[in-house]
Amino acid sequence: MRIPGAKTRVVLFTPEGAEKRIGDAFNGAFACADVAQTYRALSDRGLEFDSPPQEQPWGTLATFKDPDGNQFVLSSK
C-alpha cells in the first residue's frame, strides 16, 4: 500500500511461526498533522475507529483496527 504522494510504504506481514500474534497491537503509530481532521476524513471513507480522537498532554490520538483485529494508533502533537 502506498500513501498518495509519499515515498514510503507500509507492509504488514506475519512471519512463519508468529501466527498467534495476528490480532495483537501494532508497535508503532501513524503520524499526521491533525488527528481530528484525519479521523473525519477516514471515517467518511468507512474506517471504523475505536473512539473519537482523544487529547493527551503529549498530543492527540485515535485508535482503529484492521480486518484482522490489529490495533493501530493515529497521532499528532
State the Cα–Cα distance between residues 64 and 52, nearest whole angstrom. Answer: 10
Question: What length is written for the chain?
Answer: 77
* Domain formed by 25-76, architecture: Roll (3.10)
State the Cα–Cα distance between residues 36 and 66, nearest whole angstrom. Answer: 19
Domain regions of the chain by residue span: 25-76
Task: At 8, list the grid cell.
Answer: 514510503
Cα distances (angstroms) measured from residue 20 to each of 27, 30, 62, 65, 75: 16, 24, 25, 17, 27
Please report where in the chains the cell 499528532 appears, as a residue.
76
Among 12-16, 18-22, 45-49, 70-74, name the most confident range.
45-49
pTM: 0.68
pLDDT in tens, 37-63: 999 999 999 999 998 999 999 999 999
Handedness of CA 67, 68, 69, 71 (dihedral sign): negative
